[in-house]
Amino acid sequence: MKQFKNDFPIYKNNPALIYLDSGATSLKPQAVVDAMSAYYSEYSANIKRGIYTISEKATEEYEKARETVAKFIGADTNEVIFTRNTTESINLVMYSLGTNIVGKGDEVVVSIMEHHSNFVPWQQLCLNTGASFKIINLDSDYHLSKDGNLPAGTITKRTKILALTHVSNVLGTVNHIKEIVAAAKKINSAIIVVVDGAQAVPHMKVDVKELGCDFYAFSGHKMLGPTGVGVLWGKKKLLEEMEPFLFGGEMIAEVRLDGTTFADVPEKFEAGTPAIAEAIGLGASIKYLESVGLDTIHNHELKLMKLYKERLNKELGDKITFYGPKIPEAGILSFTIEGLHPHDIASLLNEDSIAVRAGHHCAMQLHTSLGLTGTTRISLNIYNSEDEVDNVVESISLAYKKLGASI
């Protein structure tokens, strides 16, 4: 929406920019920049044990950010762990829990649409333990399940972990996590469900307890926040039973010559000096998202996505192929154009100050299953506007003509 562009300082320095790569990382509003700048200029100190004013202020703001995150996703504050990103959050679960509960003869189930960060860790766990690595494929409309029931035999009594994305970063498919979790736990009540929420949390309301999953991971930089900070939410009972992922300062209760005891959750999983400014910036980004309204964001993105599909289809006809649900479910659109390499499309669009993503989008196995080496992806956020659509479609059409094809 045009009225929100002024909140993002990057447009002041790049007034011609049409940014369509929010699925990779989002732009940052001035409120986030200001919150991080305030930490560095007003109370830049380490947190927790400093018995002086600016350290106490830093600790207070850091923990306020944790409270903001918890409220945003419907969680208890002590169930929110700060990490570097979604990738680290998922690896934490894999190392601290997965290596202790998965063995030879067990099963780990993922979907073909996963980002590498929710695919490769579980693949490696199975390779190292001798467990079976099972993959859920797509139906004809790029879904895993429309009613929560996965294909027969997917979940069994031997399935230890089910790892799924909430929203596909390639297809824009919104998986019915609540229904899938309920159906899976009906078959195997002990199954652990890990959800990659990186593409969901910035764009739609998420209540982790309502979803019924056991872990939920996401990144600050995809939700108008800074790079270098992510979140792992987990059920407290499971977090308390898990061993630490990293060892060092701040995560200990007592260190003795004969052994060490660890701090309570969440500090147990936050070894060393954390990303203080980044966590504070994440808190500011959530407040900004709340001020705009997640329903407003989601509806705006769906409206724009429908326009992009309609106008690209009108302009290119059968020369363009879209990958994702027929009716858009999120602000993500991946496509190929006959005779054009995705990188060439992105390069030519860049000449018109249009930023899109080209390649396999860290989902190589998905592209391979679709018979593709890559796609061009448009991904949206609140700062995108309807008046950009015609410019982008025209630029794509010119790119097609420039590369020697005729429409």
Residues forming the active site: 362
* Amino acid making up residue 89: S
**Alpha-carbon gap, residue 168 to 330, rounded angstroms:** 9
Placement of tokens 């959530």 in the chain: 286
Paired residues of 233 in beta bridges: 80, 216
CB burial string 85-105: b at 16+ within 10 A, e below: bbbbbbbbbbbbbbeeebeee
* Amino acid making up residue 341: H
Residue 280 tokens read as: 């504070």
**Alpha-carbon gap, residue 123 to 130, rounded angstroms:** 10
Q: Say if residue 404 is exposed, middle or buried (CB neighbours under 10 Å; 0-12, 13-18, 19+).
A: exposed
Q: Are 148 and 180 in contact (CB under 8 A)?
A: yes
Residues in CB range of 217: below 8 A, 6 or more apart:
83, 86, 89, 90, 93, 194, 195, 196, 197, 198, 230, 231, 232, 233
Mutual angle of helices 30-42 and 276-292, in 10-degree steps: 150
